Amino acid sequence: MKVFSSLILMTALGLAASALQAAPEATPLTGCAAKKADIQQQIDKSVNPFEKAGLEKALSEVNEHCTDAGLKKEREQKVLDARHEVTQRTKDLDKAMKKGDAEKINKRKDKLAESKKELQEALDALDK
């Protein structure tokens, strides 16, 4: 019986310890803090001294000039620019379809798909 009690006690302690280890992760960084962390991670991985120096300069610039409000405004502008680009590419595709030139239609479709991808990337960056 003592062995059985000890086994239950050890199992309970093991479960409690694993529950503490599985604590929720810290909230992901956003804004300038995320940008700084990303550059620092690149610096830590870099073996090229010239690349490392450039990244360190970029980090000092971010530390000196980056504000969350400014970064958000920049990212919002990128979204607006990307939306404008998608609208323009859609118009170009419509014109090509009216003319019926298959080669131009395919080129315009490719450019539109590329612009939509850039728009999605800009939208995703808004949350970072």
Token pair in block for residue 114: 């590329």
Query: Which range marks the domain in which residue 43 is found?
Result: 28-66
Query: Average pLDDT, stretch 104-123?
Result: 96
Q: Is the same domain home to 96 and 77? A: yes
Q: Is the pLDDT of residue 3 over 50?
A: no
Q: Is the same domain home to 87 and 41? A: no
More confident residue, 30 or 10: 30
CB 109 within 8 A of CB 117: no
- Structure confidence at residue 28 (pLDDT): 80
Q: What is the DSSP string of 51-116?
A: HHHHHHHHHHHHHHH--HHHHHHHHHHHHHHHHHHHHHHHHHHHHHHHHT-HHHHHHHHHHHHHHH
Whole-number Å distance between alpha carbons of 57 and 123? 27
Q: Is the same domain home to 73 and 127? A: yes
What number of other Cβ atoms are within 10 A of residue 52's Cβ? 15
Q: Is the same domain home to 77 and 110? A: yes
Whole-number Å distance between alpha carbons of 79 and 46? 31
Q: Is the pLDDT of residue 108 over 90?
A: yes
Whole-number Å distance between alpha carbons of 73 and 122? 12
CB 94 within 8 A of CB 110: no
- 18 in a structural domain: no
Q: How much is the mean pLDDT over the chain?
A: 84
Count: domains in the chain? 2
- 81 in a structural domain: yes
Q: Is the same domain home to 128 and 73? A: yes
- 8 in a structural domain: no
Q: Is the same domain home to 36 and 60? A: yes
- 14 in a structural domain: no
- 9 in a structural domain: no
Q: Is the same domain home to 37 and 75? A: no
- Structure confidence at residue 5 (pLDDT): 47
